[in-house]
Amino acid sequence: ICAVLDMLADGTLPAKGFVKQEDIALDAFLANRFGRAYTQHEMVSRLAG
C-alpha cells in the first residue's frame, strides 16, 4: 500500500480514475523506495543478515 500511495504522491500514477493493480508496472513498483523491499536482492540480503 505504501509504495502505491508514494507513486500516487510523486505523480507516477494518475491522480484521477481507478487504477487496477495490474496497471502498475512491476519495474516501477520495485523501483519505488517502498517497493524495493520486495526485490530479490533485498530479500537475500535480509536473510543473510
Provide the residue-wise pLDDT of the chain in tens; the chain has 49 residues.
Answer: 999 999 999 999 999 999 999 999 999 999 999 999 888 876 667 777 6
What pLDDT sits at residue 38?
Answer: 87
CA-based torsion, 30, 31, 34, 38: positive or negative: positive
What pLDDT sits at residue 47?
Answer: 72
What pLDDT sits at residue 49?
Answer: 64
pTM of the full predicted structure?
A: 0.74
Start-to-end CA span in the chain (Å)? 26
